[in-house]
Structure 1
Amino acid sequence: MPSSIFLMGPLLARFGEVILSKPGGCVIGQRPIDFHLRGMRALGADIREEHGYIQCTARRLAGTSITLDFPSVGATENMLMAAALADGETVIENAAREPEVEDLANYLIACGAKIEGAGRDTVVVRGCSRLSGTRYRIIPDRIVTGTIMLAAAATRGDVTLYGTCPEHLGAVIQKLRDSGVRVDVDRDIIRVRCEDTPNAVDFRTAPFPGFPTDLQAPFMAFLATARGTSVIHESVFEARFKHVDELLRMGADISVDLRTAIVRGVRQLSGATVKASDLRGGAALLVAALAAQGESEVEGVYHIDRGYQFIETQLSALGANVERIDV
Structure 2
Amino acid sequence: MQKLEVFGANKLKGQIKISGSKNASLPILAATLLSNKKIILKNLPKVRDIETMLALLQSLGSKIKLDKNKTIIDNSKQNKKFASYNLVKTMRAGILVLGPLLAKHKSAKVSLPGGCAIGTRPVDIHLKALSKLGVKYKIDQGYVIANAPKGLKGNKIKFPKISVGATENLIIAASFAKGTTILSNCAIEPEINDLVNFLKEMGCNIKWISKRTIKIIGVSKIKEISYSVMFDRIEAGTYLVAAAVTEGNLRISNIVPEIIKTEINLLKKLGSKVMIKKNEVQIIGNRKIKNTKITTAPYPGFPTDLQAQIMVLLCKANKSSIIKEDIFENRFMHVAELNRMGARISTNGNKAIVEGNINFAPAELMATDLRASVSLILAALTAKGKSVINRIYHLDRGYENIEKKLKKVGAKIRRVN
Indicate the TM-score class for this superposition, using the shorter chain for normalisation. Answer: over 0.9
SS at match of 1:54: strand
Work out whether 1:56 is the aligned partner of 2:151: no
Structure 2 gaps, min length 5: 1-90
Query: Where in structure 2 are the equivalents of 1:102-121 lying within 5 Å?
Result: 102-117=193-208, 120-121=211-212
SS at match of 2:255: coil
Work out whether 1:314 is the aligned partner of 2:386: no
Residues 248 and 286 from structure 1, CA distance in 2 versus in 1: closer, same or farther, beyond 3 angstroms?
Answer: same
Distance in structure 1 (CA, Å) of the matches to 2:139 and 2:341:
44
**Letter in structure 1 aligned against 2:243:** A
For 1:162, which of 253, 264, 270 is the aligned residue?
Answer: 253
1:272 is matched with 363
Residues 172 and 72 from structure 1, CA distance in 2 versus in 1: closer, same or farther, beyond 3 angstroms?
Answer: same
Deviation by residue 1:139-180 (Cα, 9 ceiling, x = unmatched) = 100000000111111111000011112122121111111111
1:138 is matched with 229
For 2:99, which of 9, 15, 19 is the aligned residue?
Answer: 9
Shift of 1:197: 2.5
Deviates more, 1:263-272 or 1:66-75: 263-272
1:147 is matched with 238
2:52 is matched with none
Distance in structure 2 (CA, Å) of the matches to 1:34 and 1:68:
11
Residues 289 and 161 from structure 1, CA distance in 2 versus in 1: closer, same or farther, beyond 3 angstroms?
Answer: same
2:345 is matched with 254
Deviation by residue 1:213-249 (Cα, 9 ceiling, x = unmatched) = 1000111011111211111111111111010000001
Distance in structure 1 (CA, Å) of the matches to 2:128 and 2:405:
40
Distance in structure 1 (CA, Å) of the matches to 2:260 and 2:115:
25
1:37 is matched with 127
**What's the TM-score, normalizing by structure 2?**
0.76
Higher relative contact order (CA 8 A, sep 6+): 2
SS at match of 2:416: coil
Work out whether 1:236 is the aligned partner of 2:327: yes
Distance in structure 2 (CA, Å) of the matches to 1:295 and 1:212:
30
Shift of 1:92: 0.4
Distance in structure 1 (CA, Å) of the matches to 2:373 and 2:340:
14
Q: Percent identity?
A: 40
Work out whether 1:83 is the aligned partner of 2:179: no
Structure 1 gaps, min length 5: none
Aligned-residue CA RMSD in angstroms?
1.7
Shift of 1:280: 0.9
**Letter in structure 2 aligned against 1:6:** L
Deviation by residue 1:109-144 (Cα, 9 ceiling, x = unmatched) = 000101001893001111001222211111100000
2:5 is matched with none
**Letter in structure 1 aligned against 2:189:** E
Shift of 1:95: 0.4
1:285 is matched with 376
Deviation by residue 1:263-318 (Cα, 9 ceiling, x = unmatched) = 11133101111111111111111111111221111111111111111111111111
**Letter in structure 1 aligned against 2:335:** V
Higher strand share: 2
**What's the TM-score, normalizing by structure 1?**
0.96
Work out whether 1:94 is the aligned partner of 2:175: no
2:41 is matched with none
Shift of 1:31: 4.0
Q: How many residue pairs were aligned?
A: 325
**Letter in structure 2 aligned against 1:302:** Y
**Letter in structure 2 aligned against 1:33:** V
Deviates more, 1:131-140 or 1:68-77: 131-140
